[in-house]
Amino acid sequence: MQHTRPSDIENVSMQIITHELSAAGIFITGENDAVVKRVIHATADFDFAKNLVFTNGAVEYGVEALKAHTPVITDTNMALSGVSKPSLAKLGCEAYCFMADPDVAERAKAKGTTRAVCAMEYAAKMYPGAVLAVGNAPTALFKIAEQIREGLRPSLVIGVPVGFVNVVEGKETIWNTCLQYDVPAIVAMGRKGGSTVATAILNALLYTATGTLEPEKKGLELKIRYIQKNASAFLKRHARRVSAFHCACLRNKNNEAAPIAFLTELKKRSGNLSKKEVGR
C-alpha cells in the first residue's frame, strides 16, 4: 500500500483534485482556491467547485479576522469538534457552539422556534463581530440575515447547510443580504453542504492564517508544539546528539525559533524523529 503517511495522503489527494479540476476545465485562482480544494478534499464532491460562491475578498476578510483573534461560532458541535484547535490556539482565537446551552434550549421552547435561531441570537449579543459558520440549520441563516438588516456585522458568514427544507431559500436569503449590506460571505448554493463542509472552510481559513496549508508545515507545527511543551524531556533524551548552543536555545522559552533549530540539528545527526518521539 502506497502513501501511508498523513502528509503524503493529503499531498496526493490535493494533486488528484487539482488534476481532475483541470481536466474538467475548472481553474480556481487566487484566495478561493484553498477553500474549494479543502471542501472537495473533505467531501470527494467536485460539485462544490461550482456551488461555492464568494463575495469579493471573503477569504481575505476571513483570514484577517482570524489573525485579529476574532471568535468563531458554529451551529453544531460536530462542526466545532472538527475545527483545528492547534490553529485556533496559535492565532489566539476561540470557537463556540451554543446549541447545547440549556438557556438556549429553554428560550427556543418558550418561543416555539429552533435552538439554532436562539443560539444565533445569543451569539450576536456575546460576539457581534464573530465569524459565523452554519452547516446544518437553515433557520440560523434566516436569523443572521435578519440580524444583519438590523445592524449586525459579522466578520464573515459561512452558509453551507445541507437538506431539502428551507435550505435553498436560506442560502439565497443570506447571500443576497450579505451582498446588499457588504458583509463577507461564503455560501454553498443548492442543497449540498453540511457540518463537514463548514469545518473544511474554517480549517482552510485557519491554515491560511497560520501559514500551514501544506501538510508538511502542519506536521512541523505539531512537532514544534510538542517540543515546546516537553523541552526538559527532549533535552534529557537528545542533549548528547546536539550542540550545547541548540540546547541553550531550547531552554530559552522566549525563542520561538529554538524548536526548529533543535529539530534541524537533531535530524542532521540522528535522522527523522519517530512518531512516538514527537507525540503524534
Known catalytic residues are: 41
CA distances from 99 to 76, 167, 256 (A): 6, 19, 38
- The number of beta carbons lying within 10 Å of the beta carbon of residue 279 is 14
- The number of beta carbons lying within 10 Å of the beta carbon of residue 194 is 20
What burial class does residue 198 get, using C-beta atoms within 10 Å of its C-beta: 0-12 exposed, 13-18 middle, 19+ buried? Answer: buried
Rounded to whole angstroms, how far apart are CA atoms 115 and 101? 9
For the CA atoms of the chain, what is the radius of gyration? Answer: 21
Question: Cell digits for 274?
Answer: 519517530
